[in-house]
């Protein structure tokens, strides 16, 4: 029976892919990719010749029903994003939901995600945590930040380097400048950095040192 396979891909180091993921990508009838140019680098390294088709946030609403139908008709389709696990701040949710609603099997492989290494690297409690992804850029942002002021679990955010200082500053205003945090940058890549300290200290550092690359912020929860 055909399936939709959700396949995590490396977040930086191309060696961070499982043998099973490579097999699925080679055996699939079609691979849906967020950006076929980015995915082509991975495919070339591992000699994967399966056809790639663009599947991203700008076209997924129009194509999910057709794709689910193709799987129901017998095509094995794999979904990948530019990096990490599809559906986690990347396209994927709509296709998974559509397949499930149409009785199409969905199988998600375990694999790379920036969330877990950043959380563990932070040194903050990771037995209980909440993942916030990207905060709203405008509408609802301040409301969500205020709500998080009462959060007791470690909080994890994704952020752009261009908004890092702004977000750290807003977190400090709500949570207090002495709240412990960690900024993880370029995880698994050559210039990986995990900078730990208070929100105030991190603001000073990144105000004077321009941040670059993919960023994850982990922030300690409120002490009871």
Confidence of residue 59 (pLDDT cuts 50, 70, 90): confident
pLDDT tens for each residue of 175-196: 999 999 999 999 999 999 999 9
Q: What is residue 171's predicted lDDT score, i.e. its pLDDT? A: 98
Print the domain residue range for 42.
3-108
Neighbours of 191 (CB within 10 A): 9
Confidence of residue 138 (pLDDT cuts 50, 70, 90): confident
Q: What is the pTM assigned to this prediction?
A: 0.92
Among 89, 108, 127, give the residue marking a domain's end.
108
Same domain, 95 and 164: no
Task: Name the token pair of 147.
Answer: 């709500």
Task: Return the closest-CA partner of residue 9 out of 94, 78, 100.
Answer: 78
Among 83, 108, 133, give the residue marking a domain's end.
108
Q: What is the mean pLDDT of residues 21-41?
A: 97
Q: What is residue 93's predicted lDDT score, i.e. its pLDDT? A: 94
Neighbours of 189 (CB within 10 A): 14
Same domain, 121 and 90: no
Q: What is residue 177's predicted lDDT score, i.e. its pLDDT? A: 98
**Count: domains in the chain:** 2
Q: What is residue 71's predicted lDDT score, i.e. its pLDDT? A: 97
Same domain, 19 and 101: yes
Residues paired with 197 in a beta bridge: 181
Q: Exposure string (b/e) for 192-205, b if CB count within 10 Å is 16 or more?
A: eebebebbbbbbee
Same domain, 122 and 104: no
pLDDT tens for each residue of 44-55: 999 999 999 999
Same domain, 140 and 172: yes
Of 137 and 109, more confident: 109
Among 108, 133, 154, give the residue marking a domain's end.
108
Same domain, 121 and 81: no
Q: What is residue 1's predicted lDDT score, i.e. its pLDDT? A: 80
Same domain, 175 and 96: no
Same domain, 45 and 92: yes
| Locus of tokens 């008709």 | 73
Cα→Cα distances 85→62, 130, 186, Å: 22, 17, 16
Q: Are 11 and 188 in contact (CB under 8 A)?
A: yes
Is there a domain that residue 18 lies in? yes
pLDDT at 201 > cutoff 90: yes
Mean pLDDT of the chain: 96
Q: What is the mean pLDDT of residues 91-116?
A: 96
């Amino acid at each position: 029976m055909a399936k939709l396979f959700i396949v995590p891909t490396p977040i930086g180091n191309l060696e961070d892919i499982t043998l099973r993921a490579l097999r699925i990508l080679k055996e699939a009838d079609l691979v849906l990719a967020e950006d076929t140019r980015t995915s082509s680098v991975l495919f070339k390294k591992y000699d994967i010749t399966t056809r790639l088709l663009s599947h991203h946030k700008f076209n997924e609403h129009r194509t999910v029903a057709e794709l689910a139908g193709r799987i129901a008709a017998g095509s094995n389709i794999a979904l990948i994003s530019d990096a990490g696990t599809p559906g986690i701040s990347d396209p994927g949710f709509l296709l998974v939901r559509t397949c499930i609603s149409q009785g199409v099997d969905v199988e998600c492989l375990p694999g790379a995600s920036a969330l877990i290494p950043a959380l563990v690297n932070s040194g903050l409690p990771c037995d209980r945590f909440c993942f916030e992804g990207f905060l709203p850029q405008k509408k609802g942002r301040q409301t969500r930040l205020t709500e998080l002021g009462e959060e007791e679990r470690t909080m994890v955010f994704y952020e752009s380097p261009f908004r890092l200082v702004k977000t750290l500053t807003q977190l400090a205003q709500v949570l207090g400048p002495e709240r412990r945090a960690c900024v993880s940058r370029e995880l698994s890549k050559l210039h990986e950095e995990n900078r730990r300290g208070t929100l105030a200290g991190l603001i000073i550092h990144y105000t004077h040192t321009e941040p670059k690359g993919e960023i994850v912020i982990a922030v300690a929860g409120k002490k009871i």
